[in-house]
Amino acid sequence: MHNSKTFNRFLDEHHERFLRELADFIAIPSVAAQKRGIQEMADLLTERFRKLGAAVHQYPLPDGGSPVVYAEIGSGPRTLLIYNHYDVQPEEPRDLWHSGPFELARRDGKLIGRGVADNKGTLLARIQAVEGWMATQGELPLKIKWVVEGEEEISSVHLEEWVKAHREMLSADGILWEGGGYDEAGRIVMAAGCKGIAYFELHAQGPNHDLHSSLAPIVPNPAWRLVWALSTLKNPQDEITIDGYNDHVRPLTEEEIRLIDALPFEAEVFKANVGLDEFLNNMDARSANRRLFEIPTITICGLDSGYQDEGSKTVLPARASAKLDFRLVPDLTPDLVEELLRNHLDARGFSDIEIVRLGGEKPAKSRLDSKLHQAAIAASQDTWNKIPIMYPWFAGSGPMYPLSVMLNIPVLSAGATWHPQARAHAPNENILERDYFDDMRFTASLLAHFGQE
Amino acid sequence: MHNSKTFNRFLDEHHERFLRELADFIAIPSVAAQKRGIQEMADLLTERFRKLGAAVHQYPLPDGGSPVVYAEIGSGPRTLLIYNHYDVQPEEPRDLWHSGPFELARRDGKLIGRGVADNKGTLLARIQAVEGWMATQGELPLKIKWVVEGEEEISSVHLEEWVKAHREMLSADGILWEGGGYDEAGRIVMAAGCKGIAYFELHAQGPNHDLHSSLAPIVPNPAWRLVWALSTLKNPQDEITIDGYNDHVRPLTEEEIRLIDALPFEAEVFKANVGLDEFLNNMDARSANRRLFEIPTITICGLDSGYQDEGSKTVLPARASAKLDFRLVPDLTPDLVEELLRNHLDARGFSDIEIVRLGGEKPAKSRLDSKLHQAAIAASQDTWNKIPIMYPWFAGSGPMYPLSVMLNIPVLSAGATWHPQARAHAPNENILERDYFDDMRFTASLLAHFGQE
């Protein structure tokens, strides 16, 4: 095992410098959806890996995609592949931030900024943990391969293709996924899979320019077309009504239901945090918990048409669009969902609604009993003196499929920084300063356990 | 009759100065919906009336409403009330303008700028016509009362109340309404009524902040709530489905149908101008023309929720809203419509959808055979050598009800500047320079005929 005393002393000594490095990461608005700051962030990360002593290379992706930053360091009987991403969600709505989204703020024990939780915090903490290990323990006990992509927030549009082209290079005994944290009750949570995702824009076109709304009796309104089309996809009972959709939803196994029902779920705390009196459809906590894992969803992430400013404007808009996020459970895939959606709309007279796919990821499940999982449980005990809760998969999505399912490597999402009010994807995204350094302690301990013969 | 030769010479001599004055009117962004530039515009207009020699007064309105600018000039056996408005629609979307919306542009015989068609052009042209009359013909043959409001584009929210308080002052023999022009075939069109309007915002509220969309299985999404609620108001056959709504739609009389069916309607030219292959529901030209007058409408003027920028953001939005414009035919009124809408939504489980009323106007019809109408027909013959088409009412809306119906004064919307591609309420709003001066000729001729014993 490693000497945690010298390791911890190193963290204390380098506390402020580590946070300055984090501030540098946050300062770059690497918003993949808007192609902002991507190359700059890839370069800063590459430079950080170089300072660590890792062999590092940027893999450019086709169509101007964000480069994959790949790094290797150490050697040993086992190989740990670490997956993170350096891109972030857009910062809008800006006016709800209490400080600049790209200036790391320290308030009330929190570190606040776009990407600090998702995912630059854990990304950098793991690099700093390896630095700390080498400075205090010497040689690494295993080989580490880092895959850090810059398109996670736009559905990792090129990752599957890239992984296919580098299968050999990516061989490993386990994948430490993006990150992890704890739930409302402070229980450490880890996950060995995730839902898939398909993200679409729906576009409706009306007249060739905005018209005076007095023409509404005779001119088709694209906003109405869009509303009618959307209303056929899901009913007010929140059931997906796309033709044939539910035939592809594999029911949970008895074993999965047992695992899920055994998971803790702090329903009241959750509802209070997000300001809800009741869950959707007034469901109880047990149903809510099961649904989180069980069901596929269609979320309207955005609606856009016509006049949106203050007051009234009597306009018949030329265009309307919606952004839709489909979360997928087995055996739904992005290709299948797009086909079902197109057929469903066509069958109802909505062939005028254009579908633009912005990305997709297949769902992924992994075994739960590998050496990696054992090492993570031990590291959780070392770091927090707690046995973690093992989720069979997260309700969220991520590009686990290409790395874990395609390469057949056990995967686990685990770490210290994700907490229930982290506001990932929302204004005032944050992590706790304490958790940031706990992530380094957890990582070091995981390296020790996983590297052990 | 007046001496049109000396009048026309005056217009020629003052052509450039008149357009500079128009440019000054356009330069003030008097957007009532955004409370921009209103007082500045009221002051400029007041000053212009003073220069004309009129007695002018600004009537402040409650709740910070735009003041009514009221002016009187002349005397004679008859009184003509002129209605115009000095506020304009918002200029958005700005990037579709080919020149600054608030800089009067002269291109290809056109005058381009926000408000030039609706309604600052006719407003100023009528003042300049009166100036021209007095400079070339001497005394006015009648008394003119101008009511120029600054809230027409936000449904004249205070006008009815103001008219009630000034009944005596506003007595008149006829009302020359906002403006007029010609259709696709160059036929002069006038109207003696208009539809009513009720404008609402619908708001749906979800969680207290934007959430990661992986929580969609258990958290209500306000964008879905809004889509479902909207989809119950009108079906894809474009029929309004609000409970009890159609019971209040008075069927057209045989006489009205005869009048409407006799109206010319350049269906193919209209479709080409707005880029449509077919009218709504593939209706034929005769049905389209009748529907324009006959039916009430619900137009989605705007949809707003969540993420609308480029690319994908996996967010479950906290809020969603829609702007809805209801055009009313007798016997629908804004109050009745709001009540029916609220009851309809409540009955379907949508009591969570908040309704905010932004304004409303009742429908208005007027007799078609008054002295004013006769004078306008004669003025049309003088100006263009054409008999005008008399519409029983416009498909558009305006605050005719308080002035015409409440005060029981015949009303007619007539003028020279409205043409089929004027793009009122849209980018690149324009009138023809020629029509601007024709409006003055038409006004002078109308004064002569209406003032005649």
DSSP codes, B298-336: EEEEEEEEE--SSS---EE-SEEEEEEEEEE-TT--HHH
CATH number of A4-192+366-451: 3.40.630.10
More confident of the two residues A207 and B360: A207
Distance from C-alpha of B437 to C-alpha of B453, rounded to nearest angstrom: 27
Strands of B113-256 (E only): list them. Answer: 143-149, 174-177, 181-182, 188-191, 193-205, 211-212
Amino acid B173 reads: D
Average pLDDT value for residue range B200-209:
97
Given a cut of 90, whether residue B11 has pLDDT beyond it is: yes
Looking at the complex, report in whole angstroms how far the Cα of residue A24 sits from the nearest Cα belonging to chain B: 24
Instruction: Find the closest chain A residue to B220 by CA distance.
Output: A280
Q: Residue B414 is encoded by which pair of tokens? A: 């007539």
Distance from C-alpha of B299 to C-alpha of B331, rounded to nearest angstrom: 19
What is the secondary structure of A47-72 as a DSSP string? HHHHHHT-EEEEE--GGGPPPEEEEE
Domain(s) labelled CATH 3.30.70.360 in chain B stretch across 197-249+295-361
B1 vs A: CB within 8 A: no
Distance from C-alpha of B333 to C-alpha of B181, rounded to nearest angstrom: 28
- Residues B125-174 pLDDT 10s: 999 999 999 999 999 999 999 999 999 998 888 999 999 999 999 999 99
User: Which of chain B's residues have a Cβ under 8 Å away from the Cβ of A236?
Assistant: 228, 349
Contact B430, B103 (CB under 8 A): no
**Strand, coil or helix: B59:** strand
Q: What's the pLDDT score for residue A2?
A: 84
Outline where B308-452 has alpha helix (H). 334-347, 371-384, 400, 433-451
Distance from C-alpha of B358 to C-alpha of B254, rounded to nearest angstrom: 35
* Cα–Cα separations (whole angstroms), residue A384 to A8, A381, B325: 14, 6, 59
**Residues A214, B327: C-beta atoms closer than 8 Å:** yes
Could you say which of A291, A317, A323 has the minimum Cβ distance to residue B301? A317
B40 vs A: CB within 8 A: no
Distance from C-alpha of B184 to C-alpha of B268, rounded to nearest angstrom: 10
User: Which of chain B's residues have a Cβ under 8 Å away from the Cβ of A306?
Assistant: 300-303, 323
What number is the ipTM of this complex?
0.77
Average pLDDT value for residue range B376-387:
95
**Strand, coil or helix: B396:** strand
**Residues B216, A327: C-beta atoms closer than 8 Å:** yes
> Of chain B residues 236-255, which have a CB less than 8 A from chain A?
236, 238
User: Which of chain A's residues have a Cβ under 8 Å away from the Cβ of B272?
Assistant: none
Reported confidence tier of residue B313, pLDDT bands at 50, 70, 90? confident
Distance from C-alpha of B354 to C-alpha of B225, rounded to nearest angstrom: 11
* Burial group, residue A348, by CB count within 10 angstroms (0-12, 13-18, 19+): middle
pTM of the entire predicted model: 0.77
Measuring CA to CA, which residue among B452, B426, B394 is closest to residue B174? B452
**What's CA B292's distance to the chain center, in Å?**
15
Q: Which of A295, A301, A327, A348 to mutate to test the interface with B (most CBs of B within 10 A)?
A: A301
Distance from C-alpha of B428 to C-alpha of A10, rounded to nearest angstrom: 65
Measuring CA to CA, which residue among A25, A60, A54, A64 is closest to residue A41? A25
Given a cut of 70, whether residue B44 has pLDDT beyond it is: yes
Q: What's the pLDDT score for residue A97?
A: 96
> CATH top-level class for B197-249+295-361?
alpha beta
**Residues A275, B207: C-beta atoms closer than 8 Å:** yes
Q: What's the pLDDT score for residue B367?
A: 80
Domain(s) labelled CATH 3.30.70.360 in chain A stretch across 196-249+295-361
In CATH, what is the architecture of A196-249+295-361? 2-Layer Sandwich (3.30)
Distance from C-alpha of A155 to C-alpha of B46, rounded to nearest angstrom: 59
Q: What's the pLDDT score for residue A162?
A: 97
Q: Which of A34, A36, A303 to mutate to test the interface with B (most CBs of B within 10 A)?
A: A303
Contact A21, A440 (CB under 8 A): no
Digit-by-digit pLDDT tens for chain A (453 residues) are 688 999 999 999 999 999 999 999 999 999 999 999 999 999 999 999 999 999 999 999 999 999 999 999 999 999 999 999 999 999 988 999 999 999 999 999 999 999 999 999 999 999 999 999 999 999 999 999 999 999 999 888 899 999 999 999 999 999 999 999 998 789 999 999 999 999 999 999 999 999 989 899 999 999 999 999 999 999 999 999 999 999 999 998 888 888 888 888 889 989 999 999 999 999 999 999 999 889 999 999 999 999 999 888 889 999 999 999 999 998 999 999 999 999 999 999 999 999 999 988 899 988 888 999 999 999 999 999 999 988 888 767 789 999 999 999 999 999 999 998 999 989 999 999 999 999 999 999 999 999 997
Strands of A50-173 (E only): list them. Answer: 55-59, 68-73, 79-85, 105-107, 110-112, 143-149
**What's CA A61's distance to the chain center, in Å?**
20
CB A418: neighbour CB atoms within 10 A? 24
User: Which of chain A's residues have a Cβ under 8 Å away from the Cβ of B395?
Assistant: 214-215, 217
User: Which residue do the tokens 């927090």 mark?
Assistant: A384
Q: Which of B157, B218, B425 to mutate to test the interface with A (most CBs of A within 10 A)?
A: B218
Reported confidence tier of residue B1, pLDDT bands at 50, 70, 90? low
Phi, psi dihedrals of residue A205, rounded to the nearest 5°: -120, 135
Instruction: Find the closest chain A residue to B425 by CA distance.
Output: A212
DSSP letter at B370 equals S
**Residues B309, A34: C-beta atoms closer than 8 Å:** yes
Q: What's the pLDDT score for residue A1?
A: 65
Average pLDDT value for residue range B221-247:
97
Reported confidence tier of residue B256, pLDDT bands at 50, 70, 90? confident
B341 vs A: CB within 8 A: no
Q: Residue A267 is encoded by which pair of tokens? A: 């329903």
Distance from C-alpha of A295 to C-alpha of B216, rounded to nearest angstrom: 10
Distance from C-alpha of A204 to C-alpha of A352, rounded to nearest angstrom: 7
Domain(s) labelled CATH 3.40.630.10 in chain A stretch across 4-192+366-451
CB A13: neighbour CB atoms within 10 A? 12
A394 vs B: CB within 8 A: yes
A186: left (phi over 0), alpha (psi -120 to 50) or beta: left
Given a cut of 80, whether residue B395 has pLDDT beyond it is: no
- Bridge partners, residue B306, by sequence: A302
Average pLDDT value for residue range B323-343:
96
Q: Residue B275 is encoded by which pair of tokens? A: 């880029």
Q: Residue A283 is encoded by which pair of tokens? A: 């469901």
Reported confidence tier of residue B390, pLDDT bands at 50, 70, 90? confident
> Of chain B residues 259-318, which have a CB less than 8 A from chain A?
274-276, 279-280, 283, 288, 291-292, 294-295, 297-317
**Strand, coil or helix: A138:** coil
Given a cut of 80, whether residue B453 has pLDDT beyond it is: no
Q: Residue A389 is encoded by which pair of tokens? A: 């809760």
Secondary-structure breakdown of chain A: helix, strand, coil percentages, each rounded to the nearest 5? 40, 25, 35
Q: What's the pLDDT score for residue A265?
A: 84
Distance from C-alpha of B397 to C-alpha of B152, rounded to nearest angstrom: 10
- Bridge partners, residue B412, by sequence: B176
Q: What's the pLDDT score for residue A242?
A: 98
- Bridge partners, residue A56, by sequence: A71
Looking at the complex, report in whole angstroms how far the Cα of residue A353 sits from the nearest Cα belonging to chain B: 14
Outline where A317-432 has alpha helix (H). 334-347, 371-384, 400
